[in-house]
C-alpha cells in the first residue's frame, strides 16, 4: 500500500485568506488527484495533477481558486484561495497504484469562518 | 459519463451478522475498476476492496467480498461477521481505465454513500 502524508489535518481559517494543503507520497506516482467532500456529501474531483505539466481541472473548478503544484513525482500541493464559508469541506489527495489500488491521504478538514 | 448509485442512505445490522451494501453503476467503457471505501467519522478514506471489469472471480479481502454482477452492472459489498468498528460511511467508486505511456490510471467517480450502523 502507498503511504500518503497529508497536512494539515484540520484548520480553521478566516474568510478571504488562503490555505495550502500538502501531500507527500512514499513512492513515485504519475498521477495525483485532489478531491473535495462538502459536509454530508460525497467526494468530487477537483483536479488531476501531473508532474511537469499544468493540472487538469474538472468542471466547476478553476485554477485561480484552487491552484495546484506538482514539483516532483512524490509531492503536490492544493491551495484554496480567497476562502469563503462555502469552502468548508474535507479536502483529500489520492494516488493510484498498480491499477488495482487507489489510496487517500488522511484528509484536511477545513472550516472557514 | 460514468454514474454510481448507492440506493441505501443508511443500513443497520446486528453485530456478528452479515450485511450487503448495494452499488450499481453505469458506463459505456469496457475496461473499468470498482472500489469500495470506508470512511469513519475521522474523515479518512480507507481502501477496502477492488474489482476489475475483466476479473473472472469476485474479489475478497478478509471479511469483505464484492458481489460483482457485470451484466446487471452491480458491485455490492458484503461484510461478513459485522463488528462494532464497522460502523462508518461506505462509498462505492468507479475508475475509468485508459493508458498513457503504458500506465493505467484514472479518476474515481463516487456514489453518495451508505451509513452503516452496527448494533451490539
Tell me the per-residue pLDDT of A59-100, one tens digit each, with 9 for 90 and over. 999 999 999 999 999 999 999 999 999 999 999 999 987 777
Strand partners, A33: A48, A94
Mutate to test the interface with A, among B9, B47, B61 (most CBs of A within 10 A): B47
Distances (CA, A) of A78 to A82, A110, B45: 13, 13, 18
- Report the residue from B43, B47, B50 with minimal CB separation from A107: B43
Cell numbers describing residue A87: 469552502
What pLDDT does A44 receive?
A: 96
Q: Is B84 helix (H, G, I), strand (E, B) or coil?
A: helix
Please tell me the distance in Å from A70's CA to the nearest CA on chain B.
Answer: 17
Nearest to A4 by CA among A84, A83, A96: A96
For residue B115, list its beta bridge partners. Answer: B10, B89
| CA dist., res. A68 & res. B22, Å (int) | 35
The total number of residues shown for chain A amounts to: 113
What digits encode the pLDDT tens for the residues A21-71? 999 999 998 889 999 999 999 999 999 998 878 899 999 999 999 999 999
Instruction: Please report the pLDDT score of residue B99 as a whole number.
Output: 59
SS3 per-residue string spanning chain A:
CCCEEEECCEEEECCCCCEEEEEEECCCCCEEEEEEECCCCCEEEEEEEECCCCCEECCCCCCCCCCEEEEECCEEEEEECCCCHHHCEEEEEEEEECCCEEEECCCEEEEEC
Average pLDDT score over chain A: 93
Query: What pLDDT is attached to residue B102?
Result: 47
pLDDT tens for the 120 residues of chain B, in order: 679 999 999 999 999 999 999 999 998 888 889 999 999 999 999 999 999 999 989 999 999 999 999 999 999 999 999 999 999 999 999 997 765 554 456 789 999 999 999 999
**Per-residue confidence (pLDDT) for residue A24, from 0 to 100:** 97
Q: Which is nearest to A19 in space by CA: A112, A106, A100? A: A112
Question: Which positions 37-96 of A are in contact with B (Cβ < 8 Å)?
Answer: 37, 41-45, 48, 90, 92, 94, 96
Amino acid at each position: 500500500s502507498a503511504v500518503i502524508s497529508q497536512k494539515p489535518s484540520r484548520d480553521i481559517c478566516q474568510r478571504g485568506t488562503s490555505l495550502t494543503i500538502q501531500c507527500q507520497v512514499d513512492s513515485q506516482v504519475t498521477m495525483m488527484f485532489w478531491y473535495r467532500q462538502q459536509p454530508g456529501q460525497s467526494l468530487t474531483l477537483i483536479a488531476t495533477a501531473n508532474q511537469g505539466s499544468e493540472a487538469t481541472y474538472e468542471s466547476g473548478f478553476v485554477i485561480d481558486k484552487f491552484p495546484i503544484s506538482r514539483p516532483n513525482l512524490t509531492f503536490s500541493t492544493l491551495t484554496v484561495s480567497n476562502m469563503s464559508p462555502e469552502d468548508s469541506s474535507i479536502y483529500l489527495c489520492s494516488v493510484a497504484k498498480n491499477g488495482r489500488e487507489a489510496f487517500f491521504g488522511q484528509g484536511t478538514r477545513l472550516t472557514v469562518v | 459519463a460514468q454514474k454510481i448509485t448507492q440506493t441505501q442512505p443508511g443500513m443497520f445490522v446486528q453485530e456478528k451478522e452479515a450485511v450487503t451494501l448495494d452499488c450499481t453503476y453505469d458506463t459505456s467503457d469496457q475496461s473499468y475498476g470498482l472500489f469500495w471505501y470506508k470512511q469513519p467519522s475521522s474523515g479518512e478514506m480507507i481502501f477496502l476492496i477492488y474489482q476489475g471489469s475483466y476479473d473472472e472471480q469476485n474479489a475478497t479481502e478478509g471479511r469483505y467480498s464484492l458481489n460483482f454482477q457485470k451484466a446487471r452492472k452491480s458491485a455490492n459489498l458484503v461484510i461478513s461477521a459485522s463488528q462494532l468498528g464497522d460502523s462508518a460511511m461506505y462509498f462505492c467508486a468507479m475508475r475509468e481505465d485508459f493508458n498513457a505511456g503504458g500506465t493505467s490510471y484514472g479518476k474515481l467517480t463516487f456514489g453518495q454513500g451508505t451509513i452503516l450502523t452496527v448494533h451490539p
